[in-house]
Structure 1
């Protein structure tokens, strides 16, 4: 089983679009939005990146005896702060277009953050796709 998706960098050496594999990923139960919290997680867990799913998937795989690997692409750098408003909007997974529009009407300043996150996530998705193709393509 390969768990693929996005992660936040916890160390300055990782940049947006870099690919990280387990076991250097720690799982949090919330979006980690501040550089200070990212540094703390890096130090406490000797981890390079944070996501919200890998540990649960790894646990389910271990219970069934299924091999597990996490492949994540960095969507936000260690020094990138996500505003509390953006964290609230993104918490819980899928964001409906209407919810995003409402948030932007209430706080137009979020637009810059939205655009940066969209750009960075697009870059991360490209590198993630390339890495997954490399992993699953049999050698010649």
Structure 2
């Protein structure tokens, strides 16, 4: 069973997430860091053993499209000149959306101070979507283990901190936090080392086949029909449900001729966010599958 460590800055954030956890498929521990990167770094230096790390709580939006109560599943966490990748963000965003939440992926920036005024616009122009004050030191401490950074928006450029709308935003964000627990548990339950096969012959040799392509495509239907193990048709990594991956150790990825190769790459990268992946690539007909173990 996976050991999931959930870190929040505030006790009220931890209580909100904990309320949503029941009959959990993973072992869960909580750690409260306090506010700010220095406090988070002190806690990060003495974390208990864990298999997967999730950092959650409130954040501030830097872009107009992120409103109070929205959820950002960070694709990356930036802090100064450091960047920490969170490859499974598309899988989390899709799961959050299916849970009825407004979710998207994007870049999360950790700062050592509250961001206000024109600085929000400046940071947004540099590619950041939201800002917090704790995630980066914790992401660094994950040291290659799966990490998720899932932040609920409280304040926005239109409704900054200490405005009358902040209270409404905080109440909305707390309600959303109560719904994050089951999604984080499903994410942790899907974590495992895997082999990913690219276009295996006969679509066999896998526990799960993911066919990447448009639903109405005759080629996609043919691929589904010829797949030996259970097969799922998806048109984006966000459509891959975490529940499909629980207990699955070998995944085959194949795509229709009209599907961009980058989509297959993106799907494999998302799976790498759930643990070490060994790749098997079918190069041309009749050639053997080459395997390359990667973290």
TM-score for both structures, normalised by structure 2? 0.33
Gaps of 5+ in 1: 87-112
Asked if structure 1 preserves the Cα contact closer than 8 Å seen for 2:54 and 2:184, the reply is no
State the match for 1:109 in structure 2.
none
Distance 1:59 1:74 in 2: 23
Aligned pairs (5 A) from 1:110-125: 113=163, 116-125=165-174
When the two chains are superposed, the root-mean-square deviation of aligned CA atoms in Å is 2.0
Q: Choose 1 or 2 for highest CA Rg.
A: 2
Higher helix share: 1
1:17 aligns with 2:79: no
- Alpha-carbon displacement from aligned partner over 1:28-72 (angstroms, at most 9, x marks no partner): 1101122x111111112x11110001111111112xx43211000
Alpha-carbon offset, residue 132 of structure 1: 3.1
Alpha-carbon offset, residue 126 of structure 1: 1.4
Higher strand share: 2
1:57 aligns with 2:138: yes
Alpha-carbon offset, residue 131 of structure 1: 2.9
- Matched pairs, number: 106
Aligned pairs (5 A) from 1:1-140: 1-22=53-74, 23=76, 24-34=107-117, 36-44=118-126, 46-62=127-143, 65-82=144-161, 113=163, 116-137=165-186, 139=243
Secondary structure in structure 1 of the residue aligned to 2:166: helix
